[in-house]
């Protein structure tokens, strides 16, 4: 029947040979069913085939656009992307003279061999990686401290309401802004405290469900979501 035009009636007649409870996915695993679909497609005119191909092409393009749109929304939702103030000045030096970035050791010989440079780069990368892991764990304990501090100031209130945030800010912001060691303005300080308390609350839930040792064992997760 591949050279004839399929009709609705002939298609229904063909489908009556299959169990109505079967899914199309399971039927696609059967050779006779895929042959039926192939026969239907090959029986179409050239114009109808083009229409079918265009339909599938538009479906794929729509899926790709939706995926890109979702990713774009996430990217656009990120604000305040900038280098830390402590690195801003150093960045300009590295930008003008990239070789400065690689001079991890004072008095390093600029004419050293590739092997020597590779060994030094390996040691630095290894140190930075170990330091990164250590800092992640240390960070978890410090944000947990700010969460516990919020509970203390809020008399055990676990839900971070606006009132509790205000109490936290009132007690801490004044002290932090008066410190000569901290140069952040009030907006940044409040944003940091809010982020850290929220992160600490999540880690507290993990520790309650597991154990405090979880702060050492769980993989790295975003703390700003």
**CB-count exposure of residue 19 (10 Å: 0-12, 13-18, 19+):** exposed
Give the CA distances from residue 99 to residues 105, 109, 117, 181, in Å, rounded to whole numbers and listed in that order: 12, 12, 12, 31
CA distance 199 to 203: 6
Query: Where are the alpha helices (H) located in 77-224, listed in sequence order?
Result: 85-96, 114-153, 162-178, 186-209, 214-217
Give the CA distances from residue 41 to residues 13, 24, 30, 38, in Å, rounded to whole numbers and listed in that order: 17, 17, 17, 5
Token pair recorded at residue 16? 């009556």
Specify whether the CB–CB gap between 57 and 23 falls below 8 A: no
pLDDT at 67: 52
pLDDT at 109: 53
CA-based R_g, the chain, Å: 31
Segments making up each domain of the chain, as ranges? 8-76, 118-217
pLDDT at 103: 65
CA distance 136 to 216: 9
SS3 170: helix
* Residue 90, number of CB atoms within 10 A of its CB: 13
Per-residue pLDDT for the chain (225 aa), expressed as one digit of tens each? 444 667 777 777 877 777 777 777 777 777 777 777 777 777 777 787 777 777 767 665 555 555 555 555 555 555 555 666 666 777 777 777 777 766 644 455 556 677 777 777 778 788 888 888 888 888 888 888 888 888 887 665 655 556 666 777 777 787 788 888 888 888 888 888 888 888 888 888 888 877 767 777 776 666 554
CA distance 15 to 6: 13
pLDDT at 105: 47
For 220, which DSSP code? P
Q: Taking the mean position of all CA atoms in its chain, how far away is CA 222? A: 7
pLDDT at 15: 76
Token pair recorded at residue 26? 């399971």
pLDDT at 163: 64
* Residue 141, number of CB atoms within 10 A of its CB: 13
């Amino acid at each position: 029947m591949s050279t004839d035009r399929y009709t609705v009636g002939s298609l229904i007649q063909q489908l009556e040979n299959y169990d109505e409870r079967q899914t199309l996915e399971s039927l696609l695993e059967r050779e006779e069913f895929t042959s039926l679909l192939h026969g239907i497609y090959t029986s179409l005119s050239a114009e109808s085939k083009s229409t079918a191909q265009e339909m599938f092409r538009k479906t794929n393009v729509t899926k790709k656009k939706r995926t890109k749109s979702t990713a774009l929304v996430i990217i656009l939702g990120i604000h305040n992307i900038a280098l830390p103030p402590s690195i801003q000045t150093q960045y300009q030096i590295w930008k003008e003279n990239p070789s400065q970035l690689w001079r991890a050791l004072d008095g390093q010989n600029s004419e050293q061999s590739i092997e020597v440079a590779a060994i030094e780069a390996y040691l630095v990368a290894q140190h930075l990686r170990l330091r990164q892991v250590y800092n992640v764990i240390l960070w978890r304990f410090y944000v947990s401290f700010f969460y516990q501090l919020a509970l203390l100031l809020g008399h055990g209130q676990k839900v971070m309401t606006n009132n509790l945030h205000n109490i936290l800010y009132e007690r801490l912001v004044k002290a932090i802004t008066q410190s000569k060691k901290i140069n952040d303005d009030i907006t940044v300080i409040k944003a940091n405290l809010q982020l850290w308390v929220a992160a600490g609350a999540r880690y507290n839930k993990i520790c309650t469900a597991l154990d405090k040792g979880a702060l050492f064992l769980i993989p790295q997760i975003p703390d700003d979501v």
